[in-house]
Structure 1
Amino acid sequence: MKDLFDYCEFGDLKLNSRIVRTGLWESEREKTGNLTPEIYNRYENIAASGVGLIITELYSLYPRDVFSKYSNTTNYARFVREARDLTDLVHVYDVPIFAQLGMVQYSKKTEQNIAIDDVSIEDIRKIQTDMIMAAQKFDYGGFDGIQIGLGNYYFLSRFINPNFNSRKDRYGGSTLNRLKIVLEIIKVIKETTNLHINCRLNAFDGTTNGMTLTETIEVAKILEKYGADSLQITRPRSPQFFTRENKEKNPLIEASEQIIKNVNIPVILGGGATTQNQINEILNTTDIDYISMQRPFVADPSFLVDWQLEGNGETKCKTCNNCYWKKTSTCFINRSAKWDVKSEIPKKS
C-alpha cells in the first residue's frame, strides 16, 4: 500500500513524502524584493515538516504584472545570493525546491494586457528571453527546478488555449503550434541549465471553445516529448472550487488519472485534499502518486509533523479563502500561532 509519507522518486529527484507544497502569494517580502527572516523561517519549517517537494510562491516575470505586488521577483541585485541562502536552507532537510514562474498579462509601454492575437513575434521573443533569463537565475540560485505557469488564467495558459488564440501564424492553429512558444522556452532551458522543468496545466477550463480534457492530454504528451519533466494538474479557479461546503467529487482526480495513463513523467494532483486519510485513500484507489497542498501550509507550515506523530491528521485550514482573496502568505485565522518544529521531526525507521 502507498502512504503519503513514503520515500519515493520524482523523476531524478528523491522525495521524503508524496506531498508537494505549492505556493501562491508572497506578502512578507521587503518592498525592494529582498527576502525577510520570516520567509526563511517559513520555508525552513515547511522543509523540516516532512514535505516531499516545495514549489515556491509565485515569482512574477514582470514588475507591473497584475499580481506583481503580491509576489516576488528575480529583478533585484541580491536575488541570486538570497536565493542560494534559501535553497541551501531547504536542502539541509534533503527537500528539493522549485521556483514557480508566471505572468498574467503582457504589456508594453502604454499598451496594457495585449490580446494573444495581437502579440507580435518580437513580443514572443522578448517573453521567451525573459523567461529563460529568469530560469538561469533560478539555476544559479540553487533551485532544483522551475514550474512554468501554463494553468489558471495566466498568460501562457491563454496562449495555448484555442478560445483565446486564433492566430494565423506559426504560433496559432494546431495544438502543437499553440504550444511552440512554451516548447521553445523548454528547449533553451534544458540546454542552458540543470533545472527539472514542471508545467502547471489546466485539466480543462469550461470555456465555449477552450481546453477540453482530450486536448489537455494531447498537450501533456507534447510537453513530455519536448522535454517537460513533470506536470501539475490544476483548474482555472481552483481556490474558488475547493471549499468545505463543496461536496462534489474532485474532478481533477479523474482528469489526472487520464493524463497519467498517457504520459511517462510524474503527474501531481493539484489540491482538494484536507485530511491524511483522504490523501491515502486517493493514493491507494487511483494511479495518483503525488498530491499538492497550498492553503494548509499557510494555516500551519508544520502541520505534517503532527500528521506523522499522531496519524489521521486534518489540516487547520478552514478554507475561508482569505489568504487567496487578500493575496497574503499568512493565515487570518491562525495568524497568532507560532511554529518551530526542527527539533520535533519524527524519525523514520
Structure 2
Amino acid sequence: MKDLFDYCDFGDLKLNSRVIRTGLWESERESAGNFTPEIYTRYENIAASGVGLIITELFTFIARDAYSKYALTTNYTRFVREAKDLTEMVHIYGVPIFAQLGFVECNKRLEQNVSVNDLSVEDIRKIQTDFIIAAQKFDFAGFDGIQIAMGNSFFFSHFLNPSVNRREDNYGGNTLNRLRMILEIIKVLKQNTKLHINCRINAFDRDGLTVDEAIEIAKLLEKHGADSLQITCPHSQYVLTRDNAGEIPLVEAAERIIKEVDIPVIYGGGLNTQNKINEILNQTDIDFISMQRPFIADPSFLVEWQVSGNGESFCQTCHNCYAKKTSTCHLKPCSPEYYKKS
C-alpha cells in the first residue's frame, strides 16, 4: 500500500516522500534579480517539511519576456554563487532540487509576443543556445536537474500544439517536428551536463492537443533522453471539475501516459488533502503528486500532515497567488480557524 510519505526512488534520485513541490511565480526577488533572505527561508522551510523533491519557481533566461518581472532570472553576475547557496542548503535535508526553466512570451528586437510561426531558424537557435547556457549555470550551481517548462501556456507549449504551430519546415507538421526544438536541447544537455531532465507537458489542450498525441510526445521525450515527466494542462482548463462519470480527467490522462513510458511521471492537478492524495496513489498507477498553492499558503504544512495523518491544506484555491503573480498567499494573515469556518 502506497503512502505519500514513502521513501522512494525517482530515477537515480532518492526521495523522502512522494510529494513534489512545484513553484509558481517569484515576487520576493531584489530589483536586480538577486535572491533575498525571504527566498532562502522559504526554501529551507519547504526542504525541512518532508517534501520529496523541490521544483523551483520559474526561472527565465529571456530578459524582455513580459512575465520576466514575476520570475527569477539567470542573467546577473552573482547568480551561480547565490544559487549554489540555495542548493547546498536544500541538500542538507536530503532533498533534491530542480530548476524550472522557460518563458511565456517571445520578444525580439522591436517585435513583441512573436508567434512560433514567425520565428526564423536563427531565432530558434538563439533560444536554444540561451536555454542551454542557463541550464549549464544550474549545473554549476549544484542543481540536481532542470524542468523544461513546456506545458501550461508557456512558450514551448505553442510549438507542441498542432492548432498553434503552423510551420512548414522541420519545426512544424508532425509530432516529431513540433517537438524537435526541445529534443535538440535535451541532446546537448545530456552530452554536456549531469542534470536530470524533467519535462512538464500538457496531457491535453482543448485548443488542439489530444491525450493520444501527448502520449506520443511522452514516448519521444523518453526515447531522446528525458529522465522524467510532469503532467499538467493549460491553466484556463485546469481540471478541478469532473466529467459525467465522476472521474478527474487529468488523472485518467496521466494514467494513460504512465502506462506508455518507463520513466517517472509526476501528476499535478490541484490536490490539497492527504486522504485524497493517498486515495489516488492507491487506486491508480500514479506514484508522485505535485503541489503548488499549498506550499504558498504554508511552506511547512507537510510537518503537520505527518503528525495528523489526515491533513488538509488551508489553501482556498482562490488563485490570487497565480492571478497576481506572487509567491505569497493573499489570505495568509487570517488564522487557520478562518478557513474551517468558511
Scaled to the shorter chain, the TM-score interval is over 0.9
Q: Is 2:276 aligned against 1:281?
A: no
Equivalent-residue separation in structure 2 for 1:131 and 1:118 (angstroms): 19
Letter in 1 for 2:101: L
Contact persistence 2:4–2:18 (CA under 8 A): yes
Structure 1 residue 328: deviation in Å?
0.7
Equivalent-residue separation in structure 2 for 1:325 and 1:76 (angstroms): 27
For residue 330 of structure 1, the aligned residue among 291, 303, 328 is 328
Structure 1 residue 114: deviation in Å?
1.3
Q: Give TM-score, length-normalised by structure 1.
A: 0.93
CA shift digits 1:228-261 (9 cap, x unpaired): 00000001016855489xx964211100000000
Name the residue aligned to 1:139: 139
Written as runs of structure 1 = structure 2, the 5 A alignment for 1:149-164 is 149-164=149-164
Equivalent-residue separation in structure 2 for 1:7 and 1:335 (angstroms): 34
Equivalent-residue separation in structure 2 for 1:61 and 1:223 (angstroms): 22
Structure 1 residue 42: deviation in Å?
0.2
Letter in 2 for 1:198: N
Q: Cα–Cα, structure 1 residues 30 and 124, in superposed 2: closer, same or farther, change >3 Å?
A: same
Q: Cα–Cα, structure 1 residues 300 and 243, in superposed 2: closer, same or farther, change >3 Å?
A: farther
Q: Cα–Cα, structure 1 residues 240 and 211, in superposed 2: closer, same or farther, change >3 Å?
A: closer
Structure 2 residue matching 1:46: 3-state secondary structure: helix
User: Percent identity, aligned pairs only?
Assistant: 69
CA shift digits 1:45-70 (9 cap, x unpaired): 00000000000000012122121111
Letter in 1 for 2:71: S
Letter in 2 for 1:75: N
Q: Give TM-score, length-normalised by structure 2.
A: 0.95
Structure 1 residue 34: deviation in Å?
0.6
Name the residue aligned to 2:340: none
Structure 1 residue 10: deviation in Å?
0.3
Structure 1 residue matching 2:72: 3-state secondary structure: coil
Q: Is 2:303 aligned against 1:305?
A: yes
Equivalent-residue separation in structure 1 for 2:294 and 2:241 (angstroms): 12
| Residue segments in structure 1 that go unaligned for 5+ positions in a row | 338-349
The number of residue pairs the alignment matches comes to: 334
Structure 2 residue matching 1:54: 3-state secondary structure: strand
Written as runs of structure 1 = structure 2, the 5 A alignment for 1:98-113 is 98-113=98-113
Structure 1 residue 80: deviation in Å?
0.1
Name the residue aligned to 2:38: 38
Name the residue aligned to 1:66: 66
Structure 1 residue 265: deviation in Å?
0.3
Structure 1 residue 332: deviation in Å?
1.0
Contact persistence 2:239–2:249 (CA under 8 A): no
Written as runs of structure 1 = structure 2, the 5 A alignment for 1:1-349 is 1-207=1-207, 210-237=208-235, 241-242=239-240, 249-335=247-333
Structure 1 residue 103: deviation in Å?
1.1
Name the residue aligned to 1:343: none
Following superposition, which runs of at least 4 residues in structure 1 exceed 6 angstroms of deviation? Answer: none
Letter in 2 for 1:300: D
Contact persistence 1:65–1:106 (CA under 8 A): yes
Letter in 2 for 1:282: I
Structure 1 residue matching 2:165: 3-state secondary structure: coil
Letter in 1 for 2:102: G
Structure 2 residue matching 1:125: 3-state secondary structure: helix
Equivalent-residue separation in structure 2 for 1:154 and 1:143 (angstroms): 22
Equivalent-residue separation in structure 2 for 1:152 and 1:5 (angstroms): 27
Q: Cα–Cα, structure 1 residues 78 and 239, in superposed 2: closer, same or farther, change >3 Å?
A: farther
Contact persistence 2:295–2:301 (CA under 8 A): yes
Contact persistence 2:67–2:105 (CA under 8 A): no
Contact persistence 1:25–1:71 (CA under 8 A): yes
Contact persistence 1:271–1:294 (CA under 8 A): no
Equivalent-residue separation in structure 1 for 2:160 and 2:238 (angstroms): 23
Equivalent-residue separation in structure 2 for 1:272 and 1:101 (angstroms): 21
Equivalent-residue separation in structure 2 for 1:274 and 1:294 (angstroms): 9
Equivalent-residue separation in structure 2 for 1:128 and 1:115 (angstroms): 16
Structure 2 residue matching 1:147: 3-state secondary structure: strand
| Residue segments in structure 2 that go unaligned for 5+ positions in a row | 336-342
Structure 1 residue matching 2:73: 3-state secondary structure: coil
Equivalent-residue separation in structure 2 for 1:23 and 1:134 (angstroms): 18
Structure 2 residue matching 1:254: 3-state secondary structure: helix
Equivalent-residue separation in structure 2 for 1:239 and 1:85 (angstroms): 37
Equivalent-residue separation in structure 2 for 1:33 and 1:268 (angstroms): 29
Structure 2 residue matching 1:89: 3-state secondary structure: helix
